[in-house]
Amino acid sequence: MDPFEFGPVRFIPGDNRGRYPFCNSLYIEGKRHIIIDPSSSERELTVLRDGPGLDEVWLSHYHEDHFMFLGLFTKAPLAMSAVDAPAIESMENFLDYYDITDQGDRAAWAEIMKTTFRFQPRIADRLFKGDEVIDLGGVTVQVLLTPGHTAGHLSFFVLEPAVLFIGDYDLSPFPYYGDRDSDIDRTIESVRRLRDIPARVWISPHDNGIYRENPGNRWDQFLAVIDERQARLLDLLSVPRTMGDIVEARIVYKKVREPKLFYDFGEMCTMKKHLARLIGGGTVIQEGEYYRLT
């Protein structure tokens, strides 16, 4: 996929069609130039840095597939949400935000973050609190606080061409809300908010990338995955299960994937969110290592 322009907004497609570990980036050209989520293409991002230039880097959230090439822009100020910013200030913070507690797992994850994703601690220069409007000179951006995927996840609405960068509510069949401070119900609220924004173009960092028409029922399909996971978990719990049993059921990833450590962790974290939600609703209880229906 080639770069595509919508007035002052340029879509920068990620390598491997924006699939993890890459993402699509957004470049906004006002009197100030902004790149959002620099994890698309090292070559394209280097051309932008050395060509028209860059005044600021914005991150929608702290996940590694959104900051991989942040090191290209050490001279540009960094802006992200006040809630998420501490996650990238140190590796220890980053692993804490993912809720990785086992020391062996922390060491393995730290190595992956350093070698594959080029993690470098960074302190944000500007902290977004959400729902502020920023004039870039000739183009205006509304910063939308859309928590759930992470607690401080941001989306960006470029008002003049009505382009909405939806962040990791990416309309794929894989909503994620497994981090320490992620939340299923806030994810649902944020998706419902985004679908009501009066956009003309919708930009996703993954999946199809560009929607030139309202995604319509894709919003519902995205949210339906949450209900499907919960329904499968309830069915599984017709017999008491341990967390190990639940992970082995592969409700999220459907099958064993490599690296197994990485995907089993994601499976566990996602299921923990559903279990907490079901326990809070009185549908499930925990007895020792086992979870069962009430």
What is residue 172's predicted lDDT score, i.e. its pLDDT? 87
- From residue 68, alpha-carbon distances to 12, 118, 208, 244, 282 in Å are 14, 6, 20, 32, 41
pLDDT score at 35:
98
pLDDT of residue 207: 78
> For residue 61, is pLDDT > 90?
yes
Domains and CATH numbers, the chain: 4-215 (3.60.15.10), 225-293 (1.10.10)
Q: Provide the pLDDT for residue 1.
A: 55
For residue 261, what pLDDT is reported?
84
**Percentage above 90 pLDDT, the chain:** 93
pLDDT digits (tens, 9 = 90+) for 14-50: 999 999 999 999 999 999 999 999 999 999 999 999 9
Over the stretch 247-285, which tens digit does the pLDDT of each residue have?
999 999 999 999 888 899 999 999 999 999 999 999 999
Summarised one tens digit per residue, pLDDT across range 186-230 is 999 999 999 999 999 999 999 779 999 999 899 999 999 999 999
DSSP notation for the chain: ---EEETTEEEEPPGGGG-TT---EEEEESSSEEEES--S-HHHHHHHHHTT--SEEE-SS--GGGTTTGGGGTTS-EEEETTTGGGGS-HHHHHHHTT---HHHHHHHHHHHHHTS-------SEEE-SSEEEE-SS-EEEEEE--SSSTT-EEEEETTTTEEE-TT--SSS-----STT--HHHHHHHHHHHHTS--SEEE-SSTT-EESS--THHHHHHHHHHHHHHHHHHHHTTS-EEHHHHHHTTTTTSS--SSHHHHHHHHHHHHHHHHHHHHHTTSEEEETTEEEE-
**How high is the pLDDT of residue 175?**
95
Read off the pLDDT of each residue in 230-246 and give the average, rounded to a whole number. 98
130 pLDDT band (50/70/90 cuts)?
confident
Whether 2 shows a pLDDT value over 70: the answer reads no
The pLDDT assigned to 4 comes to 84
pLDDT reported for residue 3 = 66
What pLDDT score does 274 carry?
Answer: 98
**Average pLDDT of the residues in 164-174:** 94
